[in-house]
Amino acid sequence: MKKILITGGAGFIGSHVVRRFVNTYPNYQIVNLDKLTYAGNLENLRDVEQSPNYKFVKGDIVDAEFINNLFTNENFDAVIHLAAESHVDRSIANPIEFVMTNVVGTVNLLNAARNSWKGAYNTKRFYHVSTDEVYGTLGEGTEMFTEQTAYDPHSPYSASKASSDHFVRAYHDTYGMDCVISNCSNNYGSFHFPEKLIPLSINNIKNNKPIPIYGKGENIRDWLWVEDHARAIDVIFHKAKTGSTYNIGGHNEWTNIDLIRTLCKVMDKKLGRPEGTSAQLITFVTDRAGHDLRYAIDATKLKNDLGWEPSLQFEEGLEKTVDWYLANEEWLNNVTSGNYQHYYEDQYQNR
């Protein structure tokens, strides 16, 4: 029986990773540590919360004493670290929160692991889940980010993730800890908090509200279905060599405006509205400060070394995602109003 700490397991990507590990590995004990911020929600994990190999702990990775005690008491065999402040616009408005959670929080976890795992560094793994935004931005050509691309972050968010990546590598190089990192492109799918482009747009279209497109909508992102990301994390966690880095991506680039026009067509179809209705909601607004033009991931290393490839075509994934949001109106209403937070805080406070 392996005991694995998954941080940020109540968030969007984290909840998919927790679900995958709880269901796929009954011989693992999964401990989900989450602060339950506005974007973390135990409602995302209802289907696994009664599983005998799952436990939730509410806590903040910025609190070093709490983290050290948790490691001493639980004696984890591995960490998959996803807890992070993740929204670029929020990082522009409030950078310090990103420094605290993403940098200080990561170093607190590394320190706790370093202290409690002494003498067992080659059997206990620290896996940091990171982002392609650490590489900066690309032009509109064919160049892609590889694992060799130099770091060049531009937003406070990407600077904080780049910094935490560097700390993870430093703990591998300095203390010999077994660390691995993956850097993934934009994710989409169920349980995505509706502040990000796709779920925000679905929610706004549903409610006949404007769809805000930054600048001219020409920025390009590479989109990956979140369950494919969770599967990549599973493969990397189990098979990657110590000290290695893997890029994860969908080979699926879209300008924001093309993506939203496609989404509008899907929404018209699903809502039974005449084609062109949702697209009328598209509204061009002031651009994001320092907006990176293009992210594109070369995931060849992951395919060649570990055999991972995306499983889902984007059009199919987008339809699945829209279907999920339309079928889960209660979730959407409750996360946007903050209703779920208090309910679960009460229920879980003393567990």
Residues involved in catalysis: 132-133, 157
**CB of 350: closest distance to ligand T46 in angstroms?**
32
Q: Is the dihedral of CA 81, 87, 91, 93 positive or negative?
A: negative
Contact residues for 274 (Cβ-Cβ < 8 A; gap 6+): 268
CA 249/CA 228 separation, integer angstroms: 9
Q: Which is nearer to ligand T46, 101 or 256 (CB)?
A: 256
Query: Is 115:71 a contact under the CB 8 Å cutoff?
Result: yes
Q: Name the residue with the smallest CB distance to ligand T46.
A: 131
**CB of 233: closest distance to ligand T46 in angstroms?**
14
- What is the distance in angstroms between the CA of the first residue and the CA of the last residue of the chain? 21
CA 111/CA 59 separation, integer angstroms: 17
Angle, CA of 93, 139 and 153, to the nearest 5°: 35
**CB of 287: closest distance to ligand T46 in angstroms?**
8
Please pick, from the candidates 113, 213, 232, 335, the single residue that binds ligand T46 as defined by CB under 6 A: 213
Please pick, from the candidates 17, 88, 129, 240, the single residue that binds ligand T46 as defined by CB under 6 A: 88
Please pick, from the candidates 34, 43, 132, 228, the single residue that binds ligand T46 as defined by CB under 6 A: 132
87 binds ligand T46 (CB under 6 A): yes
Interaction pattern, residues 284-323, with ligand T46; x per rule: CB under 6 A:
----x-----------------------------------
CA 120/CA 25 separation, integer angstroms: 22
247 binds ligand T46 (CB under 6 A): no
Pick from 5, 44, 50: which is nearest to 23 by CA? 50
186 binds ligand T46 (CB under 6 A): yes
282 binds ligand T46 (CB under 6 A): no
Pick the piece of the chain touching ligand T46 (CB under 6 A) from 92-100, 106-114, 167-175, 214-222: 214-222
Which 3 state secondary structure label does DSSP give 286? coil
Q: In which element (H, E) is residue 255 found?
A: strand 253-255
Neighbours of 135 (CB within 10 A): 24
Q: Which is nearer to ligand T46, 216 or 269 (CB)?
A: 216
**CB of 10: closest distance to ligand T46 in angstroms?**
16
Task: Enumerate binding residues for ligand T46 (CB under 6 A).
Answer: 86-88, 131-133, 185-186, 196-197, 200, 212-214, 219, 221, 256, 288
